Structure 1
Amino acid sequence: MNRALIVIDVQESFRARPLWATISDPKIADQVNRLVRIARAAGDLVVWVLHHEPGSGDVFDPALGHVRLMEELERTEEEPLIHKTSHNAFTTTNLQQVLTAHGVRELVVCGIRTEQCVETTTRVGSDLGYQVTFVTDATATNPIPHRDAPADRSVADLLADPRTLSADEVLRRTEYALAGRFATIATVDELEAAAERPA
């Protein structure tokens, strides 16, 4: 086993926020499930990562009950479940030790949010020497407000602001930033086709 699928922050916390109405792919769990099936069939390690902020009082505070995998996802008992407090899945966890213990050298990454935790994990993983595949259509994100926009604005105001970066633009820019530098960009369909080809 030298490859691992890293599923990042596909958790109920995001569905508990008003911003979920703007998510690029509300059925992100379906795409993740496809990747999980591919990984398990190949004998790859599947690692589940959840973001939590104990004591914050928001949707990422474990005390509120939202820090759990989306209900459509099914983790098996032997698959590691890691809790992080930083944007990337390495800095505040034992992820690298888990990967080393399993002889992993290649990563396939997916999850929420595309340009934040998933991209940051990809960059750190690449810097640590892993060969990384970033599965863009198994990530999801939201529109990003302009840096000068008020922090407490409504979803309607966010979408009405012409300075807001759309989710589609975020996805496209993330691919451009990662491709050829930090990761290979792939789709779920491409990985499924590769898995079905004779060895």
Structure 2
Amino acid sequence: MTRALIVIDVQESFRARPLWETISNPKIADQVNRLARLAREAGDLIVWVLHSEPGSGDVFDPALGHVRLMEELQRHDTEPLIHKTSHNAFTTTNLQQLLTERGVRELTVCGIRTEQCVETTTRVASDFGYQVTFVTDATATNPLAHPDAPAGQSVAELLSDPRTLSAEEIIRRTEYALAGRFATIATVGQLEAAGESRA
């Protein structure tokens, strides 16, 4: 086992926020399930990661009950589930230990949000020497407010602000930043095709 699928923050916390209506990929769980099936068929490790902010009082506070995998996801009991409190999946978890113990050198990453926790994990993994595949269509993000936008914007205000960066722009810029430097960019379909050719 030299490969692992890392599923980052595909959790109910995001659906508990009004901003979910702007998400770029509302069916992300379907894409993740496809990747999980592919990983299991290849005998690869799958690690599920949840983001947690204990005591915050918001949707990432475990006390509110939203810090759990999206109900559509099909996780097997033997697959590790870890909780992080940092943007990347390494710093506040035992992820690297799990990977090292199993001899993993290649990672496939997916999850929420494209440019935040998924990209940050990808960059750290690359620095640690892993060969990383970033599966863009198995990530999701929201439009991003301008740094000077007022705090507490409503969804309507966010979308009407001409300075707001669209989810599509964020995804494109993330691909540009990662490709050839930190990761190989791929789609679920491309990985499924590659799996079929190896079979």
Which TM-score band applies after superposition, normalised by the shorter structure? over 0.9
* Residue 44 of structure 1 pairs with residue 41 of structure 2: no
- Report the CA distance between 1:80 and its aligned residue: 0.5
In structure 2, what is the Cα distance between the partners aligned to 1:39 and 1:62?
Answer: 29
Structure 2 equivalent of residue 121 of structure 1: 121
* Residue 87 of structure 1 pairs with residue 87 of structure 2: yes
Opposite residue 80 of structure 1, the aligned amino acid is P
Q: Give secondary structure in 1 for the equivalent of 2:48.
A: strand
Opposite residue 162 of structure 1, the aligned amino acid is P
Opposite residue 66 of structure 2, the aligned amino acid is H
Structure 2 equivalent of residue 77 of structure 1: 77
Structure 2 equivalent of residue 103 of structure 1: 103
In structure 2, what is the Cα distance between the partners aligned to 1:48 and 1:142?
Answer: 21
Q: Give secondary structure in 2 for the equivalent of 1:7.
A: strand
In structure 2, what is the Cα distance between the partners aligned to 1:146 and 1:105?
Answer: 37
Q: CA RMSD in A?
A: 0.6
Unaligned 5+ runs, structure 1? none
- The C-alpha deviation readout for 1:90-134, integer Å capped at 9, x for no partner, is 000000000001110000000000000000000000000000000
Structure 1 equivalent of residue 158 of structure 2: 158
Q: Give secondary structure in 1 for the equivalent of 2:60.
A: coil
Aligned residues: 199
Q: Give secondary structure in 2 for the equivalent of 1:119.
A: helix
In structure 1, what is the Cα distance between the partners aligned to 2:197 and 2:74?
Answer: 26
TM-score normalised to structure 2 length: 0.99
Structure 1 equivalent of residue 133 of structure 2: 133
Opposite residue 32 of structure 2, the aligned amino acid is V
Structure 2 equivalent of residue 142 of structure 1: 142
In structure 1, what is the Cα distance between the partners aligned to 2:125 and 2:198?
Answer: 29
In structure 1, what is the Cα distance between the partners aligned to 2:136 and 2:99?
Answer: 22
- Report the CA distance between 1:150 and its aligned residue: 0.9
Q: Give secondary structure in 1 for the equivalent of 2:185.
A: strand
Structure 2 equivalent of residue 192 of structure 1: 192
Percent of residue pairs identical: 83
- Report the CA distance between 1:198 and its aligned residue: 3.6
Opposite residue 140 of structure 1, the aligned amino acid is A
In structure 2, what is the Cα distance between the partners aligned to 1:164 and 1:32?
Answer: 28
* Residue 172 of structure 1 pairs with residue 166 of structure 2: no
- The C-alpha deviation readout for 1:15-45, integer Å capped at 9, x for no partner, is 0000000000100000000000000000000
Q: Give secondary structure in 2 for the equivalent of 1:146.
A: coil
- The C-alpha deviation readout for 1:19-78, integer Å capped at 9, x for no partner, is 000000100000000000000000000000000000000000000000000000021111
In structure 2, what is the Cα distance between the partners aligned to 1:198 and 1:86?
Answer: 36
In structure 1, what is the Cα distance between the partners aligned to 2:52 and 2:66?
Answer: 9
